[in-house]
A and B are shown apart, each in its own frame.
Chain A
Amino acid sequence: MKINQLSVFLENKPGQLSKPCRALAEAGINILTLSLADTQQFGIMRLIIHQWAKAKAVLEKAGCVVKVTEVVAIEVSDRPGGLAEVLEGIEAAAINIEYMYAFTFRSGDKAIIIFRFDDPDGAIRALQSKGINVVGNVGLYDRAAV
């Protein structure tokens, strides 16, 4: 149910973004999606990768600071109001969203959004009880492979 996300610390200097990407490319590891959070002083790159454990080792070998966090992938109808419905459901369950970002690919008429909750297990239970489709590991990576 939960998906392992890799976060990489980025110093604010030229070449910082390409370093981890190049390391992964050289190891033949495909990045399914990535999102970037940055300030003037530093940044955090978040990556969704099927072979996350291998990717972590590759990145660490390249000198990156890497952290694994569990995030939740949720299917959202790709139509006006689709995301609002899901967010309302999360709100109603009184779950705090740390951050979220959209997956770069769609699945049919659905978009996939990655959510970072403090308590992913609690969030999954609450969301499922509200009929919101939480995408599992296998499902996600299968779709990504399409």
Chain B
Amino acid sequence: MRLWPESSARAESEKPRMKFPFENRIWDQAEIMPVADRRQLQLQRLAELVARLGSVPFYKQAFARTGLGPEKIKSLDDLRRLPITTKADLREHYPLGFLAVPREKVARIHGSSGTTGKPTFVAYTAGDLETWAQLCARFLVAGGLQPEHTVHIAFGYGLFTGGFGLHYGVERVGAAIVPAASGNTPRQLMLIQDLGAQVLVCTPSYALQIAETARSTGLDPAKLPLEFGHFGGEPWTEDMRLQIERELGILAFNNYGLSEVIGPGVSGECAARTGMHIQEDHFIVECLDPDTLQPVEPGQPGELVFTTLTKEAFPLIRYRTRDIARLDDSPCPCGRTTARMDRVIGRTDDMLIIRGVNVFPSQVEEALLRVEGTAPHYLIEVDRPGAMDEVTVHVEIRPQDFSDKMSQMQSLREQIDREVHAVTGLRMQIKLVEPQTLERSAGKAKRVIDHRREKGLI
């Protein structure tokens, strides 16, 4: 590993200016390969992928319908002629209808929890597991992980890809792992303290819960041995990052992935923290308008759609993630030549249409965090009692912000009201609730209750 890549023209121009909070390391030379070379590699891998997918009935039929085949892949633009794959397609071929290798080649099966009924399964060959570990190692190293570190993993170890994905990534880097898994926060705190973990891996909301639990037991969370945090598994905001960093006294890094694409490791932040580097030698990313499926203007938010170039057991073409984010292919001061994605600002299916306005729960979260003294635990309740949509935001107050003075509490409420209006453009009813009363978990937090759906109004 060398500190600065020499092969990248992009990086050269930016090289001297950025000051990193720690040594900038590159795990894999593929991260800094010239863009043109990578595009060539993508094209070659895409043609190979299309050839391999002839064994998957879903794709075989789609290719037959459209007359496509590996010989028709002449440029990366030909990707646009390939079929889209959706979560519904995976469900239709439950459990493993997209398997592209003989069953005996499968080394592991993971799944993502379905909001309705059965999970969606994904399979890995031994080669896929190695690729996955390497991809996790890339972003972990980009975010400061060193072999001498101890890493506390508070992700669930199970069908969910978070725990095992990060686990093997950390192992490749050579750091020590405390596989704490999820739950029992006081015990997690004890492990972090007693075993001296410098690195925390979990969901961002769980990081805040760890801080909260520390405080409630009279422990200053900033005094924990933690120095770095790698957070993913749910969307979060920049303000939430600041809060986590302030409360735990760490540098917090964002990473992204979903089980259908491979799990964590699809992208992750470097020390510059100007977006998450997408591992483009393994994935082709598109940013599409969710309605038209046409590419959005550069830099505009759109639905991310991934094609897995190297996955053996469960490769997917143009898989719709339903995640909304922006892409940025401007040079990064870290020297990596891959495109970056901004944090996920919402899900196509989380998008609430309220009185005709598009609102993402993340916008409400951003507003809440702007108001000092509001923990980011909230629940958005939408209803349509008459002709108009009505929204109530339930916000947990923190004990330290509770005042016996009515004026102070009123002003806290009004401030939240103003910020929510400023960010979303909508008036919402703000309801302060007791701490720890809204549902939260180590997995994904429940943020929205939409009564319109139950009533069949949307």
**A contacts, CB < 8 Å to B:** 5, 7, 9, 11-12, 37, 39, 41-42, 44, 46, 63-67, 69, 98-99, 116
Contact, CB under 8 Å: A99 / B431: no
Contacts of A69 in B (CB 8 A): 404
CA gap between A67 and B400 in the complex, in Å: 8
Q: Which residues of A contact B410 (CB under 8 A)?
A: 39
Residues of chain B within 8 A (CB-CB) of A99 are 405-406
Q: Pick the residue among B404, B409, B431, B437 that contacts A12 (CB under 8 A).
A: B431
B397 at interface (Cβ–Cβ under 8 A)? yes
A interface majority secondary structure: strand
Asked if A41 and B431 sit within 8 Å, CB to CB, the answer is: yes
Which residues of chain A are within 8 angstroms of B404 by Cβ–Cβ distance? 5, 7, 44, 46, 67, 69, 116
Q: A63–B399 Cα gap in the complex (Å)? A: 11
Residues of A within 8 A of B437 (CB): 11, 63
B195 → chain A closest CB, angstroms: 30
Whether A39 touches B406, Cβ cut-off 8 Å, given contacts A9-B397, A65-B397, A65-B399, is: yes
In the complex, what residue of chain A is closest to B394 when comparing beta carbons?
A11
* Residues of the B chain whose Cβ atoms lie less than 8 Å from the Cβ of A11: 431-434, 437
A7 CA / B409 CA spacing, docked (Å)? 12
Pair B432/A67 contact, Cβ less than 8 Å:
no
Task: Name the B residues within 8 Å of A67 (CB-CB).
Answer: 399, 402-404
Check B432–A41 contact: CB distance below 8 A.
yes
**Which residues of B are interface residues toward A (Cβ below 8 A)?**
397, 399, 402-406, 409-410, 413, 430-437
Looking at the assembled complex, report how far the CB atom of A117 sits from the nearest CB atom of chain B, in whole angstroms: 12
Cα A67 to Cα B404 with chains together (Å): 7
A63 touches B434 (CB 8 A): yes
Docked Cα-Cα span, A116 to B404, in Å, equals: 10
In contact, A7 and B406 (Cβ under 8 angstroms): no
Q: Which residues of B contact A9 (CB under 8 A)?
A: 397, 402, 432, 434
Whether A7 lies near B434 (C-beta < 8 A) is no
Identify which of B402, B405, B431 contacts A65 (C-beta below 8 A). Answer: B402
The distance from the CB of B338 to the nearest CB of chain A, in whole angstroms, is 47
User: Given the complex, which residues of A lie within 8 Å of B430, measured CB to CB?
Assistant: 41
Q: Which of A37, A44, A64, A116 contacts B434 (CB 8 A)?
A: A64
Pair B413/A65 contact, Cβ less than 8 Å: no
Whether A42 contacts B432 in the complex (CB less than 8 A), given A9-B397, A65-B397, comes out as yes
Q: How far is the CA of A11 from the CA of B413 in the complex (A)?
A: 13
Instruction: Say whether A44 contacts B413, CB under 8 Å.
Output: no
Minimum CB distance partner of A118 in chain B? B405
For the complex, give the distance between the alpha carbons of A46 and B403 in Å.
Answer: 11
Closest chain B residue to A12 by CB distance?
B431
Q: In angstroms, how far is the closest chain A Cβ from the Cβ of B368?
A: 16
CA distance A9 to B405 in the complex (A): 11
CB<8 Å pairs between A and B, sample of 21: A7-B403, A9-B397, A9-B402, A11-B434, A37-B406, A39-B406, A39-B410, A41-B431, A42-B409, A44-B404, A63-B436, A63-B437, A64-B434, A65-B397, A65-B399, A66-B402, A67-B399, A67-B403, A69-B404, A99-B406, A116-B405
Residues in chain A near residue B431, CB distance under 8 A: 11-12, 41-42
**Which residues of chain B are near A41, meaning CB under 8 Å?**
413, 430-432
Q: A7-B402, A9-B397 are in contact. Are A65 and B434 (CB under 8 A)?
A: yes
Question: Complex formed: what's the CA distance from A41 to B436 in Å?
Answer: 18
Bound-state CA distance A98–B399 (Å) is 21
Task: Point out the residues of chain A lying under 8 angstroms from B399, CB to CB.
Answer: 65-67
Report the separation of the CA atoms of residues A12 and B337 in the bound assembly, to the nearest whole angstrom: 54
| Residues of chain A contacted by B406 (CB below 8 angstroms) | 37, 39, 44, 99
Other A-B contacts than A39-B406, A41-B413, A99-B406, 10 sampled, CB-CB below 8 A, are A11-B432, A12-B431, A42-B413, A44-B406, A46-B404, A63-B434, A65-B397, A65-B399, A67-B402, A69-B404
The residue in chain B whose Cβ has the minimal distance to the Cβ of A37 is B406
Cα distance A98–B413 in the bound complex, in angstroms: 19
Contact A65/B403 with A39-B410, A41-B413, A42-B409 known, Cβ cut-off 8 Å: no
Cβ distance B11 to chain A, nearest Cβ, rounded Å:
51
The smallest C-beta distance from A104 to any residue of chain B, in angstroms, reads: 19
